[in-house]
Amino acid sequence: MEKHKQSQSQGKQSQPVPHALNEFPLDNSLLKNLMVRAATNAASTTDGNSTNKSLADDSLLLDMVQQTDAEAGQAVLKAIGRYEILRELGTGGMGKVYLGSDPQTKRQVAIKVLQDARSQEARQFQREAQVLARVEHPHIVTIYDWSEDQGRSFIVMQYIEGESLAKKLQRGRLPEEYTLTILAQVAEAVAYANEQGIIHRDLKPQNIMLEKSSGLAYVLDLVWPRT
């Protein structure tokens, strides 16, 4: 009798995972793994401790699936406010920056998006936009708009087609004359901002954009009011 029970237990443990799982339509290995585990658990007998551990593992897998789905949802952001999202440009300290299109002005814009509009960073985000909107200088990126949508705060800025000074320096030293030109343009921008009661506090090559067509320098993230 005992030998017969062991044979039945082994038979249950060796049952294959249903063939339907191999045809699961979503390309999500985490979710498929979760379904395989659930099917395997249903086809086997375990003691209480093993069952609890299995349930804990399943819960962890499910959390991972949900996190993956949330990240995928962020990656497919198509619009915010009235602006169409064209592609992601990069990720900064406070959020992501996208290339967007303004249907009213028919121009391309850079859109800086913070995910949580209720956070302390979001309130700072809005203050930054209000400060920058007062600044008009040929070597400071212009702020066009700021608002909230879909639980996200965002700032709409002038789009500079080009690259950062940091990226350009990765390819080697710049000619002395061009270096002096960049320094002069950045110094003019920072001096003007100081006259408006604004300081930068994070001036670095990553925050200086060089326009591809003209070579002009533009200061980014000049956001802090002087205290």
Model confidence, pTM: 0.63
Phi-psi category of residue 151: left, alpha or beta, with phi > 0 → left and psi -120 to 50 → alpha: left
pLDDT for the residue numbered 45 = 46
Instruction: Give strand pairing partners of 91.
Output: 96
pLDDT for the residue numbered 23 = 41
pLDDT for the residue numbered 24 = 40
Active-site hit among 57, 69, 116, 202: 202
Tokens (6 digits) for 46? 């375990």
pLDDT for the residue numbered 127 = 76
The Cα-based distances of 130 to 106, 138, 198 in angstroms read: 24, 18, 12
10 Å CB burial of residue 170 (0-12, 13-18, 19+) is: exposed
Q: Is 102 a catalytic residue?
A: no
Question: For every one of its 227 residues, what pLDDT tens digit does the chain have, with 9 covering 90 and above?
Answer: 555 555 454 544 544 444 444 444 444 444 445 445 555 555 554 455 554 555 555 555 445 544 544 444 445 789 999 999 999 998 866 789 999 999 999 999 999 998 766 777 777 777 778 777 888 999 999 999 988 898 888 999 999 999 999 999 999 999 999 999 999 999 999 999 989 888 887 899 999 999 999 999 999 887 555 44
Contact 139, 180 (CB under 8 A): no
pLDDT for the residue numbered 47 = 52
The Cα-based distances of 200 to 123, 173, 181, 203, 219 in angstroms read: 18, 25, 20, 6, 9
Amino acid identity of residue 39, one-letter, is A
pLDDT for the residue numbered 9 = 47
pLDDT for the residue numbered 158 = 95
CA distance 149 to 86: 17
pLDDT for the residue numbered 56 = 55
